[in-house]
Structure 1
């Protein structure tokens, strides 16, 4: 079944864990300290993300998105079953689909992010984990004693003290140096411009000014926080930074401004997360 991906358009436990297993999960992720101070966020013309100044006491953010290898440690330690495994509701992409169209694949989950028929992650353990939901990300954070960044923290980190749409300025010409995105005019034909059809290994492209990799592109990153436009009668969550699927012709969320919205139990093969220290 093919359905519209609203996530992209709008943008889109461990009682048995040992101390040593938790320590591995923490120490295997490098962090960058984002310094205390005041930072400009948002944009004058952006409806969801208005221009404003915020202050932070400082925080530590993971240098990269969480990898398949680290998520596997969590699963092996806890026997955790993701939403995609339980609900059989993961959404996957296949070259040739019309714009903003994704497919439901009951076989897809983090080990087979685009479905069993399209191969697994055996040789992609250093790629970001995908086909997980916000609820799955929260479960990992609880086990590893970390947390998701807030919407503001993510933006502060992505801008690396800049006031512009991209941390290097307003023009997107340099995006290919810093992010794994879709460079084609549509998704009807494969795009291997940057060497990757889907996800890329973490830290494969240049870092931003704070030393953080893949803040734009590779996978959307779940964040904590709400917007004034969020519905009052149901919970939604937000993700930022764009993905390998996003292009300048469709979505284009690979920047510091845009904010996507998704159901907390939805799983897409372009969704992932990075963590912050508690």
Structure 2
């Protein structure tokens, strides 16, 4: 089998779950998990790689397809009014910095539904991936990532595999590089420096995505396991999964979706943080940090990498 661009991740026992006081309740209880050896992409899938897939197959991403309101309304609270036709057009969510400080409990202040936004136009009409072919592809829904992985003869990693790989052999470490805070020492990842969501000092040199591999790899030779873009995993997101016996079995994978914060939609797991993460907001670059989104959602800070079983 072709494993070019992949790294062999040795099997072992992962102590899965939160490592410090920033951990959320869904990261507990910390528990041992046996992981079999597997291969993982050393880098996030790039625009160049996804373009080859789209051209070879004619694949249209979710963000490029017409929107069916009858399908969409099943994932929103009952009684939600039908949006105007002007918004029921192909598109995706795009980050827009606010003008100043805002409460951080309403993501709608910095995410805007943008008609015409997709992987080729990440920030909407007028934007382009020209000059960004080595950047991670974004505006990718889970089902887009799954389609690419199957075409490439690979698969998406499980949540447990992802965390094991991110730790890079450093048991109990908070971040892929160790325990040193992200803002101390040499540059470690592409993340939000300054005051989220209105002032990014771009100390790392990037406001949006960075080329894959722009920062040092972790102990397994994997790049950008922290920051740059959130990465899809195969699991359905179950807020309480770690409390269940299934989570302690070898190579676990959650097959039931439940998020008390989004009770009307089934969501898939996201890992690794993005260029928008900051300790004041999500600290998504922590190894144990869990996030989720509906499998048909595209955002301009969401991408993926693939895995392959031995």
TM-score (norm 2): 0.76
How many angstroms apart in 2 are the aligned matches of 1:77 and 1:175? 43
Q: Is the 8 A contact 2:182 2:189 kept in 1?
A: no
Distance 2:272 2:186 in 1: 14
C-alpha displacement of 1:174: 4.3
Shift of 1:191: 3.2
More helix per residue: 1
Give distance in 1, aligned partners of 2:233 and 2:186: 24
Residue equivalent to 1:85:
64
1:34-64, Cα deviation, whole Å (9 max, x unpaired) = 1122222212764212211111220111000
Alignment of 1:174-253 (within 5 A): 174=184, 177-226=187-236, 227-229=238-240, 230-231=257-258, 234-253=265-284
Question: Which of 1, 6, 12 pairs up with 1:37?
Answer: 12
Pair 72,198 (structure 1): closer, same or farther in 2 beyond 3 Å: same
Residue of structure 2 equivalent to 1:111: 120
Give the total of aligned pairs: 252
Please tell me whether the aligned partners of residues 89 and 266 of structure 1 are also in contact (alpha carbons under 8 angstroms): no
8 Å CA contact retained: 1:164, 1:170: no
| 1:233 positional shift | 6.8
Summarize the alignment of residues 40-51 of structure 1 with structure 2, pairs less than 5 Å apart: 40-43=15-18, 46-50=24-28, 51=30
- Superposed, 1:46-61 pairs within 5 Å as 46-50=24-28, 51-61=30-40
Structure 2 distance, partners of 1:34, 1:135, is: 25
- Structure 2 residue ranges without an equivalent (≥5): 68-89, 241-256
Q: Are the structure 2 counterparts of residues 256 and 190 from structure 1 closer, same or farther at C-alpha, using a change threshold of 3 Å?
A: closer
**RMSD, matched Cα:** 2.1
Q: 1:175 deviation in Å?
A: 8.1
Q: What secondary structure does 2:25 align onto?
A: coil
* 1:53-202 equivalence runs, <5 A: 53-86=32-65, 87=67, 88-96=90-98, 98=102, 99=104, 100=107, 101-117=110-126, 119-162=127-170, 163-167=172-176, 168-169=178-179, 171-174=181-184, 177-202=187-212
- For residue 90 of structure 1, give the secondary structure of its aligned residue in structure 2: strand
DSSP 3-state at the match of 2:195: coil
CA contact (8 A) 1:176 1:194 kept: no
In the TM superposition, what is the alpha-carbon distance from 1:161 to its structure 2 partner? 2.1
SS of the equivalent of 2:63 reads: helix
Q: Distance in 1 between matches of 2:117 and 2:239?
A: 33
Provide the residue aligned with 1:275 in structure 2.
Answer: 306
